[in-house]
Amino acid sequence: MAETGTGRFAPSPSGPLHVGNLRTAVLAWLFARSTGRRFLIRVEDLDRVRAGAEAEQLAELAALGLMSDAAVIRQSERADHYALALGRLQDLGLVYECFCTRRDIAEAANAPHADPGFYPGTCRNLGDAERARRRAERAPALRLRSGVDSWAIDDVLVGRFRAPVDDVVLRRNDGVISYNLAVVVDDAAQGVDQVVRGDDLLASAPRQAYLASLLGLAIPTYAHVPLALSPQGQRLAKRDGAVTLEDLADLGHAPSAVLAAILGSLELPTGSLAAALGVFDAQRVPREPWIVDPAHLLSTVARPAPEQSAPTDKVHP
C-alpha cells in the first residue's frame, strides 16, 4: 500500500448524479482506499452550475458512504491559483492570444487534412499589428503554445496511451480559466496523485499531463473507468428513466440497494463498501461499459470482464 497520496472525485454541479456517476465515485473511493490514499471531493463549478446541485450531489455521495477526508473545495473560489499558473506559462513564452470563434474553428476542422477536434494554430503566429486590430474587435482567448505533437500517459486499466496535444485553451475569451488548466492546478494543490474518472476523459489526459510537466508539477497515476450506458448504447442520462437516487427512492429503493447494484456491476460483494474494499483488485475492474436498464436496474449483474492482454501503447485517433 502507498503510505501517502490522494485520490478524488470531482463532479460538476449541473444536476443530480445518476448511477453511472455514482459508480465512478465508488470506484474512485475503492482505488484510493485500496492503496492507502485519502479520498477527496472537489466541486468543479467553472461551468454548468445549477442552483442547489452541489448540496444535492454531496448528499447523494454521503448516502452511499462517500465523504471527503478534507474540506470540499470549489474551483470558483480558486481564481488566484489559476492566474498564477497562467502567469508562469506566460513568463515561459508559452501563451498566445486567439481570436477565433467557434465557427472559425469548426470550419477549419472541416478543411482537407485537418485533424478533427484539434485547434489548427490559426492565431499562433499573428503579428503585433494584426493582434491589436483583432483585439479591438473581439476579446481574445489565451492558448498554450504547445511544443509537442502528442504526449503519452500510463493508465492502470488502459495501459500506455498516447494522444495528440494541440494548442489548448487556457483562458476563455470571457475570462474563465479552462477546465484543462484548472484540473491540473487543483490536483497538484491537493496532492492528488491518483485520478480515477470516466473513460470519456481519456483523450484529455495527455494534454493535462503535458501541462503539468510544463508547470513542473507531478503527473498523477490515471485509471479511466468504463461509463454506464443505456440499453441503446448511449451515455446514461436522467432522461433514460429512474437512474438517480431521488428517482429510485420514489420507487421505494433505498440508497443501500443502489449501492448494492453498483457493487454488483463491479463483481464485488454487495453488502457494504467495506466488504467490497476487502476484495477489491484494480486489475479485475470490468473493462466493458455498464449497460443500465432502468426497469431492471437493481437486478443488474455485470458480465465477466474479458481476459486482459499486456498493455500496449494505444494511440487516440
The band of 6, judged by pLDDT with boundaries at 50, 70 and 90, is very high
What's the rounded mean pLDDT across residues 229-244?
Answer: 85
Q: Are strands 150-155 and 159-164 parallel, antiparallel or unpaired?
A: antiparallel
The band of 114, judged by pLDDT with boundaries at 50, 70 and 90, is low
pLDDT at residue 112 tops 60? no
Specify whether the CB–CB gap between 36 and 2 falls below 8 A: yes
Which segments are annotated as binding site for L-glutamate? 8-12, 44, 179, 197
Q: Cα(178)–Cα(207) distance, rounded to whole angstroms?
A: 12
pLDDT at residue 242 tops 50? yes
pLDDT at residue 301 tops 50? no
> What are the two backbone dihedrals, phi and then psi, of residue 73, each rounded to the nearest 5 degrees?
-105, 155
pLDDT at residue 267 tops 90? yes
Tell which wins on pLDDT, 25 or 230: 25
User: Which contacts qualify for 88-91: CB closer than 8 Å, 24 or more apart?
Assistant: 88/215, 89/144, 89/170, 89/214, 89/215
Q: Cα(17)–Cα(24) distance, rounded to whole angstroms?
A: 10
Pick the CATH number of 79-182 from 3.40.190.150, 3.40.190.10, 3.90.800.10, 3.30.360.10: 3.90.800.10
CATH topology of domain 6-77+229-315: Rossmann fold (3.40.50)
Q: Cα(263)–Cα(290) distance, rounded to whole angstroms?
A: 11
Highest mean pLDDT of the ranges 99-103, 237-241, 296-300 = 99-103
**Domain map (residue ranges) of the chain:** 6-77+229-315, 79-182
Specify whether the CB–CB gap between 62 and 200 falls below 8 A: no
Which segments are annotated as binding site? 8-12, 44, 98, 100, 119, 123, 179, 197, 238
Specify whether the CB–CB gap between 312 and 160 falls below 8 A: yes
| Partners of 159 in beta bridges | 155
Percent of the chain with pLDDT over 90: 77
User: Which contacts qualify for 245-249: CB closer than 8 Å, 24 or more apart?
Assistant: 245/16, 245/17, 245/22, 245/60, 245/63, 246/16, 248/297, 248/298
Which segments are annotated as binding site for Zn(2+)? 98, 100, 119, 123
Specify whether the CB–CB gap between 257 and 300 falls below 8 A: no
Which segments are annotated as binding site for ATP? 238
> What are the two backbone dihedrals, phi and then psi, of residue 112, each rounded to the nearest 5 degrees?
-55, 140
